[in-house]
């Protein structure tokens, strides 16, 4: 879902992604992917948000994705911080029911509150569980690492039935065996893939507001998506 950066840099993330995308060519020889031949692809533009009201921004995002999903589109979202995943999943679950989740991130984003607020980039998946948007037996979180307020920071996710794959369990390993297990776990029902840029080690992707050392490498991330 993009960088958990400050609001200014996240706001202009989509613009920078479009600028960088001109360097991409239409074929990927290593994977055999030809997306513009196998898919009907369109840039639907930026989703409007209210820069001064997070709750209203979530409403606007949810309503935009309700229209996208109703039109039969499969959304691919770039930019923003992880808060946006919550209203997107509201729209997805409204059509498909509880969905599976493959979540690549340094952080689990399952906190309950911050400074008394229930909604921010560290709480989206807690809110999704509260509202029954996730099929919790089909949720996998990969690349989790970094400091925490407590030593039992993984307890909530695991108590909900999530598979939590710590970054240290990925070090110096191919992730092909892991993804074989994940695909089997996900089955054929709808899933949502959420990728936070800080899932990558900051040596490769420093443009995040929440860098955590010892993360995934680009080659490992490619294996996650093959």
- Per the annotation, where are the binding residues? 82, 105, 107, 109, 196, 198
> Which residues are known binding-site members for Mn(2+)?
82, 105, 107, 109, 196, 198
Q: Tell me the helix, strand and coil percentages in the chain, rounded to 5.
A: 40, 15, 50
Distance CA 201, CA 218 (A): 9
Distance CA 82, CA 194 (A): 9
Number of DSSP helices (H) and strands (E) in the chain, helices first: 9, 4
For residues 89 and 69, is the Cβ–Cβ distance under 8 A? Answer: no
For the sheet with 163-166, list strands across it: 163-166, 134-144, 99-104, 191-195
30: which residues sit within 8 A by CB, 6+ positions away? none
């Amino acid at each position: 879902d993009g960088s958990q950066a400050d609001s200014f840099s996240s706001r202009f993330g989509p613009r920078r992604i479009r600028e960088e995308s001109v360097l991409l060519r239409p074929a990927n020889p290593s994977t055999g992917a030809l997306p513009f031949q196998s898919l009907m692809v369109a840039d639907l533009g930026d989703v409007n948000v209210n820069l001064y009201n997070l709750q209203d921004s979530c409403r606007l995002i949810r309503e935009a994705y309700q229209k996208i999903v109703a039109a039969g589109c499969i959304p691919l979202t770039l930019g923003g911080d992880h808060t946006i995943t919550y209203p997107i999943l509201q729209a997805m679950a409204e059509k498909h029911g509880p969905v599976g989740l493959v979540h690549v991130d340094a952080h689990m984003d399952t906190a309950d509150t911050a400074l008394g607020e229930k909604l921010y980039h560290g709480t989206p998946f807690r809110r999704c569980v509260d509202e029954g948007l996730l099929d919790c037996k089909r949720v996998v979180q990969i690349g989790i690492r970094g400091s925490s307020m407590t030593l039992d920071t993984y307890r909530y996710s695991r108590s909900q039935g999530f598979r939590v794959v710590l970054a240290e369990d990925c070090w110096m390993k191919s992730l092909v065996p892991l993804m074989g297990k994940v695909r089997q776990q996900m089955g054929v029902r709808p899933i949502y893939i959420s990728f936070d840029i800080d899932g990558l080690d900051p040596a490769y992707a420093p443009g995040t507001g929440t860098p955590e050392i010892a993360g995934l490498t680009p080659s490992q991330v490619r294996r996650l998506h093959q």
